[in-house]
A and B are shown apart, each in its own frame.
Chain A
Amino acid sequence: MATRVVGDSATTVVRKRSFSESYIGEWLTTTDHKQIGIMYIFIGFFFFLVGGMEALLIRSQLAVPNGKVLSPEEYNQVFTMHGTTMIFLFVIPFLAGLGNYFVPLMIGARDMAFPRLNAFALWVVLFGGLFIQSSFLIGQAPNGGWFMYMPLNLTSQGVPNAAEVVNGLNADFWYLGTTLLGVSSIGGSLNFVVTIFKLRAPGMSINRIPLFSWMVLVQAFLLLFSLPSVTTASVLALLDRHLGTHFYQYTTGGDPLLWQHLFWSFGHPEVYILILPAFGIISEVLPVFSRKPIFGYTFIAWSGVAIGFLSFTVWAHHMFAVGLPPIAQAFFATSTTLIAVPTAVKIFNWLATVYGGKLNLKTSMLFALGFVAMFLIGGLNGVALAVVPFDYQITDTYFVVSHIHYVLFGGTALALFAGIFYWFPKMSGKLLNERLGQWQFWLMMIGLNLAFFPMHILGLLGMPRRVYTYPANLGWNELNLIATVGAFMIGIAVVVFLYNVVVTLKNGQKAGNDPWDAFTLEWDTTSPPRKYNFLHIPVVRSRRPFYDKKNPEIADWKTVTH
């Protein structure tokens, strides 16, 4: 990794404008990690809106008992697609987008290691997403729940005694679509791993890369090791459905639980795939707006790695009710409890970063603080789910729905907004409006607590998840109505955000290169960065290279060794 300088070469040839120079062609044929990152973010956000609409449909249906907004069949398609869209088509592409844009900038690289593979992964996400969503056009969207349990999703040939299984294309869309998205994620992850291992700027040792890059690295490894499992499971499902094999068919000696083991040995690492880069974003935002370095860099980084390893040992905590031997349940309860330790360490380190700082409460910081506050709830009710006897009562109820939304909305989504408010000036050169940002933040905070907190109680009161309706006499009415109100508040907050983006792009305040007085390399270049990122590849001597450059007399490398 030699330090490079752009050499000059001047050639002028008169020629026809090629396709890749037209505006559309420029984007369609690009291999620039920043353009790809922006497209990823657009795709992710587009599917966030789609998934959000689906969520509002769900909440409208459940607002009152015996709701008539959707038919049962429609409802089952919508809730399945809500989960699938949000997990596979919103969070993963969005995180991949931020990772694509900022990891090379943060580690001082000019691009990702495999630019064409990068572009390929992007297009596969887009087409794969459209492929899955297109199932709505023929009225056969996947309807088996986002984890597509067997044997419900076999054809009736495989489950001869069932009154109803999925004979249509519904399940095929899901299995094929997620396989496609898996192809994309494998490509993207390989790219991140190689980029972070091989393209770091001189002096940027692995224990100096910004924590966001660390978490993206761990996430990439998790994807690489967990995706084969779900891909295998999906292919076996397709074989069962169409070629009459017997992997999941109990009548011929197959086992429905095989699907659950294969799916969850992907599905639990998946949860950390969705949250680890969010941890990374928070670990970038909190120090900058607290005017302090991150507290316990090593512990945050290695607790991320610990979470990564442990996440492969906890899958059966989704399956406590399937009748595993008690000793196996005790094992999975223990590993699930253990994984809370590195998570707790992270939260304490964030608190210590904020404590004693000089907090600049910009919108980005508000979202980051909101993340810590909300993710804590998601962590605590997650531990509750590891308490096996209690889990027997609340698994598959709205308590679980509440947990996943505190983790993925109160956690990941808030972190994504923190990241967007933080990095938007770098990507566009304009500062998002703070006033609107604060409106959005408070609407979201209140909305999400209204929407998701009552779900805890609904779960305790015995409301199962995935029901398209509920009778009026079971005491669930008021709480469901509150949840619906909260969901619509979140919807309004998203509209505020969209308005903010449009207004800002049109006539927002100019950001300059370093609006937040930040610490890391992505701010040490123009906003937006040029195609080659840095004119000279910077030389790094600490974890906060840009801070060192701006404060040479109190630079980190003079005061600490790391």
Chain B
Amino acid sequence: MRTKNSTSQQESVEQRVSDAVAEEQEAPRAETTEDSGAPLETDALETAEEVQSDTPTRKKRIRRKITPEEEKTISPGHSVWPLVLALALIVLFLGIILHPIVLVIGIIMLVGSAVGWIIERH
């Protein structure tokens, strides 16, 4: 169930990004599109080469080949665990003040959400 959920998240992100990419590939030519008025880095590749020729000694590391990467590694996926873990922590602290039962609930929540956090896949 959880795995399925996160996969669908990734897909949706990919979908949105690929939309955006499509939009931007057109935008630079039009330049009037309000949403993407900025000149985007369409010339990043050229720039990198230019750098090599200008100062070949200092800029060596940019020579690496630029590979397109998957969107999911670029934008982190959504995750509910940070919120749950924070809630667990606060329940635990409230437990210290209020009642041992609350403390126990807090500890259980903390362990549970930590496990959830760890096994969550991206």
Contacts and interface: CB of A to CB of B under 8 A. Distances in A.
Within 8 Å by CB, do A and B touch in the complex? Answer: yes
Interface residues of A, number: 69
A173 B90 CA distance: 12
A11 B14 contact: yes
A128 B90 contact: yes
A111 interface: yes
A535 B21 contact: yes
Contacts of B34: 510
A481 interface: no
A181 to B, nearest CB: 11
Given A2-B64, A13-B8, A513 B37 contact: yes
Given A8-B18, A180-B90, A538 B41 contact: yes
B110 to A, nearest CB: 12
B interface, over-half SS: helix
Contacts of A549: 39
B51 interface: yes
B48 interface: yes
Contact of B69 (A6, A128, A510, A538): A6
A120 B83 CA distance: 6
A539 B62 contact: yes
Nearest to A11: B11
Contacts of B64: 2-3
A552 to B, nearest CB: 10
A26 to B, nearest CB: 8
A464 interface: no
Contact of B82 (A2, A19, A116, A180): A116
Interface in A397-432: none
B21 A6 contact: yes
B11 A3 contact: no
B69 A127 contact: no
A227 B53 CA distance: 48
B5 interface: yes
Contacts of B62: 3, 202-203, 539
Contacts of B77: 31
Contacts of A111: 74-76
B21 A29 contact: no
A247 interface: no
A525 B97 contact: no
B26 to A, nearest CB: 12
11 contacts: A6-B69, A6-B74, A10-B15, A29-B78, A32-B75, A111-B75, A115-B76, A123-B82, A526-B38, A536-B40, A537-B44
Given A3-B66, A123-B83, A549-B39, 9 more contacts: A20-B9, A21-B12, A25-B78, A183-B89, A510-B34, A526-B35, A531-B75, A536-B41, A536-B42
